[in-house]
Amino acid sequence: MGLQYSEETQRQVDAKIEEEVVATTKERREILRSIHQVVYNPDMSDTGRITKVIARFATLLVSLSIQADRIQRLLIWLTVAIAALTLVLVALTIVMLCKMH
């Protein structure tokens, strides 16, 4: 079970969470830019600034994790394809050697 908030506070928390979740679909440059905007915002308190930077940094990590997962899946697929092609080439080589004798 999560923390218990008043109904209004819960709506605000949910809105902030949704904002960060939606931000994971942004380009990494946009996320970095938003981190820097928060860091250099003179109107924010130190606590608010730290909280927002941590949230934005977590968003950046999720974005990078999603990209890394896509690349890993592609590399696995390519490795399987290369292994299959290698097996086909070995089979063709054996067939050609048998035909020569």
* pLDDT tens digits, one per residue of 19-41: 877 777 788 888 889 888 888 88
Quick check: is 38 in a domain?
A: yes
Quick check: is 44 in a domain?
A: yes
Cα radius of gyration rounded to whole Å, the chain: 25
Side-chain-side CA neighbours of residue 71 (13 Å): 6
Determine the pLDDT at residue 25. 76
Q: How many residues does the chain have?
A: 101
Q: What's the structural domain count of the chain?
A: 1
Quick check: is 66 in a domain?
A: yes
Domain that holds residue 25: 7-73
Return the top range by mean pLDDT from 38-47, 48-57, 73-82: 73-82
Top-confidence residue, 3 or 30: 30
Quick check: is 2 in a domain?
A: no
Quick check: is 98 in a domain?
A: no
Under 8 Å between Cβ of 53 and 38: yes
Quick check: is 101 in a domain?
A: no
49: number of Cβ within 10 Å: 16
Percent of the chain with pLDDT over 70: 97
pTM of the full predicted structure?
0.65
